[in-house]
């Protein structure tokens, strides 16, 4: 009788452990499915549930999706250089009346595209031979900002004539000159073309992710 009682108790214990493991597994699966919303885990959750992701790919919806990228900064152009600022007298030599400063300058220019300017007429969707194609014309690329890094911009040398005081405005004027020079250098090096190219790549990837078979962005 004792042996039978122990066997029955062991069977109930095994059944309880099985049910507990089953319950914990179901809870873990439910937690996973609830929290796996994107990436590889999101795709796996969709497969488990037999769920398919659908996107609104009408023109107004596409405009809204692209506009949400807002000011898309795609290029950061950095420059290290030395910029000179000076003031001279028309009568006296610099040794007596000149003022000269050399700045070691570090700055950056940021360019991109303001996608909030995108309009419905900039997007065209066509269907042919089972292929859904989208054509997008992006707004013009822009130079968003040109700034000097004050922590890494410093006076390298300063010489002032014997007969004149130090011009307190010369450094700030030279900094403004350096900022303009940085802007001109970035533009001449094609920062706007690079910004447009990078923006096209970003928008193209977005549109392919929405299910279009062919994407033309320019």
Q: What is the mean pLDDT of residues 44-68?
A: 66
Q: Where residue 195 falls among pLDDT bands split at 50, 70, 90?
A: very high
What pLDDT does residue 150 have?
A: 85
pLDDT at 53 over 50: no
Indicate whether 35 and 89 sit together in one domain: no
Question: 122: domain range?
Answer: 59-217
Tell whether 140 is covered by a domain.
Answer: yes
Q: Which of 49, 51, 52 is nearest to 29 (CA)?
A: 49
Residue 54 lies in a domain: no
**C-alpha span between 14 and 9 (Å, rounded):** 9
Helix (H) or strand (E) holding 93, with range, is none
Is 137 within a domain?
yes
Same domain, 113 and 21: no
* Residue listed under structure tokens 């549930």: 49
Nearest to 190 by CA among 123, 136, 143: 143
Backbone Cα Rg of the chain? 33
Q: Is residue 32 included in any domain, yes or no?
A: yes
| Dihedral angle computed from the Cα positions of residues 7, 10, 15 and 19, in that order, rounded to the nearest 10 degrees | 170
CA angle, corner 60, sides to 57 and 64, nearest 5?
A: 90
CA neighbor of 103 nearest in space, from 164, 166, 148, 165: 148
Q: Is the pLDDT of residue 33 over 60?
A: no
Grouping H, G, I as helix, E, B as strand and the rest as coil, residue 44 is helix
Provide the number of structural domains found in the chain: 2
**27 and 112, same domain (yes or no):** no
Same domain for 73 and 43: no
96 and 14, same domain (yes or no): no
Same domain, 75 and 45: no
Give a yes or no: residue 124 inside a domain.
yes
- Tokens representing 20 are 């507990």
> Could you tell me the two tokens for 30?
């439910």
Percent of the chain with pLDDT over 70: 74
> Which of 30, 49, 68 is the last residue before a domain boundary?
49
Residue 174 belongs to some domain of the structure:
yes
Tell me which of 90 and 115 has the higher pLDDT. Answer: 115
Same-domain pairing of 98 and 27? no
pLDDT of residue 65 exceeding 50, the answer is yes
Whether residue 121 is found in the same domain as residue 26: no
* Share above pLDDT 90 across residues of the chain, in percent, rounded to a whole number: 42
9-32 average pLDDT score: 65
Is the domain of 119 the same as that of 31?
Answer: no
Q: Helix and strand tally (H, E) in the chain?
A: 6, 7
Beta-bridged to residue 154, according to DSSP, are 104
- So what's the pLDDT on residue 165? 86
- Ranges 5-14, 16-25, 68-77, 120-129: which has the least confidence: 5-14
**What does the mean pLDDT of the chain come to?**
82
- Can you give the pLDDT at residue 2? 47
Two tokens at 189? 């090096």
Q: Is 22 within the bounds of a domain?
A: yes
139-145: average pLDDT? 95
The answer to whether the CB of 149 falls within 8 A of the CB of 106 is: yes
| Relative orientation angle of helices 170-188 and 191-209, to the nearest 10 degrees | 60
| pLDDT > 50? residue 201 | yes
Same domain, 63 and 100: yes
Same domain for 141 and 106? yes
Q: What is the mean pLDDT of residues 133-152?
A: 93
Same domain, 39 and 91: no
3-state secondary structure 64-105: HHHHCCCEEEEEEEEEEEEEEEEECCCCCCHHHHCEEEEEEE
């Amino acid at each position: 009788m004792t042996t039978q009682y122990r066997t029955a108790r062991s069977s109930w214990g095994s059944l309880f452990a099985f049910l507990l493991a089953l319950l914990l597994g179901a809870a873990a699966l439910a937690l996973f499915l609830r929290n796996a919303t994107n990436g590889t885990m999101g795709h796996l959750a969709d497969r488990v549930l037999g769920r398919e992701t659908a996107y609104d790919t009408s023109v107004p919806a596409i405009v809204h999706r692209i506009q949400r990228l807002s000011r898309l900064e795609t290029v950061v152009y950095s420059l290290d250089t030395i910029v000179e600022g000076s003031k001279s007298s028309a009568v006296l030599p610099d040794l007596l009346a000149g003022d000269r400063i050399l700045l070691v300058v570090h700055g950056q220019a940021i360019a991109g595209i303001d996608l909030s300017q995108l309009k419905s007429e900039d997007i065209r969707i066509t269907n042919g031979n089972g292929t859904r194609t989208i054509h997008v014309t992006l707004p013009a690329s822009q130079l968003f900002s040109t700034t000097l890094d004050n922590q890494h911009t410093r006076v390298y040398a300063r010489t002032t004539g014997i007969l004149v005081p130090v011009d307190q405005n010369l450094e700030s004027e030279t900094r403004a000159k350096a900022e303009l020079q940085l802007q001109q250098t970035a533009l001449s090096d094609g920062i706007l073309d690079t910004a447009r190219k990078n923006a096209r790549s970003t928008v193209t990837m977005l549109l392919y992710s929405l299910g279009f078979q062919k994407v033309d962005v320019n």
